[in-house]
Structure 1
């Protein structure tokens, strides 16, 4: 284990990234445990208020991100500075993305259906950073050999094609595939060659006069959502807690911190 850590993490200079990712995941988990305990009325934790203003944990998260980011720029690459700044930055990102939906909607939607976006963002961020930590680089240029890397044309072509496929997947309403396609070589091809989602820019433009393609797109989207939406919601509820019902009778969103 020690050899693997030194060979794959410390020697390539990825220790700060590993520390940031670990701090990010642990912070999110701890924040969710605390907020779920407050929601259930258990434990010693209570909401934080200052002068009648409810303090969301995105506030200290932003401060920690600023401190960790500027500290990393100022500390260079030697000593314990980069590692400490990476931990501060990871903790800050964990607090901020835990309330990503609040920032997006500019409203406290933590325990609502819209609040699921926070869990989605945290899971996707952790997955993408993990891929980078494992050696995957944006646009997949890490998979070319030394001789091929010397040929700049091959690298430019690889980056260009991957970027094009990612854009096509994004225009077809497949944002997750497009995002992961930037990291994993040519995974965006899957989203680029398949039918577009019904309300995507591609479908609105190219399926407008093609009723058969439009019908196939709607049918495929229906079957896909029926197959995976329920499972996705169960996983999100397990990670972040189930949102309030339509009436919100279980607990006020303001009483969660």
Structure 2
């Protein structure tokens, strides 16, 4: 175990990333526990206000992100110092992305259906951090041989093709697939051959005069959402808690 740790984490300089990712996930989980306790009126915690203004935890999160980011850049060291700044940055990122939906909507939607976007953002970020931790490089660069890496033209063409692939998948309205395809290009190929999401720029541009394709896209999107709404709902309830609307229906 010690050899694996030294070879795969310490020597490649991935310890700060591991610390930041761990701090990020733990901060999100602890924050959700505390906010749910405040919501239920349990425990010693409470909302923080100043001058009648509710201070959301995204505020200290931004401060910690700035402190951790600038501290890491300014210090330029590896070791204990970089680890401390990585933890500070991870805590700040966890606090900020826990309220990602509030930033997106510029409204307090924390306990609404729209607030589930925060959970999705955290899960997506944690997954991408995990991919970086295990050595995945953007646009499939890590899949190239040493000879290919020495040829700058090959590298540039590979990066450009995979970038356009991810951009096309994003254009089709498949945001999660587009993000993951940056690190796993095969996912982008799957998204490329599948129908675009209804309402996406691709669908509006290319399905406008193709009623059959538009109908198939609508049907596929309906089946996809119905298939995943169950597992997605369970995960959302477990991580983020039930929405106000769900609690109201349950209370009624």
Q: Same fold (TM over 0.5)?
A: yes
Deviates further, 151-160 or 242-251: 242-251
2: distance between equivalents of 1:4 and 1:190?
34
Please say if 1:241 is aligned against 2:232: no
Show the counterpart of 1:206: 206
Length-normalised TM-score, structure 1: 0.94
Show the counterpart of 2:59: 59
Change (3 A) 1:247 1:129: closer
Show the counterpart of 2:226: 226
Runs (4+) of structure 1 moved beyond 4 Å? 246-251
1: distance between equivalents of 2:247 and 2:80?
50
Deviation at 1:246, TM superposition (A): 7.2
Query: If each structure's helix is expressed as a fraction of its own residues, which one has the higher value?
Result: 2
Deviation at 1:105, TM superposition (A): 1.1
Show the counterpart of 2:50: 50
Change (3 A) 1:250 1:90: farther
How many residue pairs are counted as aligned between the two chains?
A: 251
Deviation track 1:104-144 (CA, whole Å, cap 9, x = no partner) reads: 11111110111001000000000001101110011110111
2: distance between equivalents of 1:207 and 1:79?
54
Q: CA RMSD in A?
A: 1.6
1: distance between equivalents of 2:231 and 2:246?
20
Show the counterpart of 1:178: 178
Length-normalised TM-score, structure 2: 0.95
Deviates further, 18-27 or 242-251: 242-251
Deviation track 1:55-111 (CA, whole Å, cap 9, x = no partner) reads: 111111111111101100111123411110000000000000001111111111110
Please say if 1:102 is aligned against 2:102: yes
Answer whether contact 1:65 1:93 (CA < 8 A) is retained. yes
Deviates further, 181-190 or 25-34: 181-190
Deviation track 1:10-42 (CA, whole Å, cap 9, x = no partner) reads: 100010000000000000000000001111111
Show the counterpart of 1:191: 191
1: distance between equivalents of 2:30 and 2:192?
38
2: distance between equivalents of 1:249 and 1:36?
18
2: distance between equivalents of 1:106 and 1:198?
25
Answer whether contact 1:244 1:250 (CA < 8 A) is retained. no
Deviation at 1:248, TM superposition (A): 6.0
Show the counterpart of 1:153: 153
Please say if 1:167 is aligned against 2:144: no
Answer whether contact 1:168 1:192 (CA < 8 A) is retained. yes
Show the counterpart of 2:14: 14
Deviation track 1:133-170 (CA, whole Å, cap 9, x = no partner) reads: 11001111011111111112221221111111111111
Show the counterpart of 1:255: none
Q: Structure 1: where are the runs of 5+ without partners?
A: 252-257
Change (3 A) 1:17 1:167: same
Deviation at 1:247, TM superposition (A): 9.0
Q: Which has the higher contact order (CA 8 A, sep 6+)?
A: 1
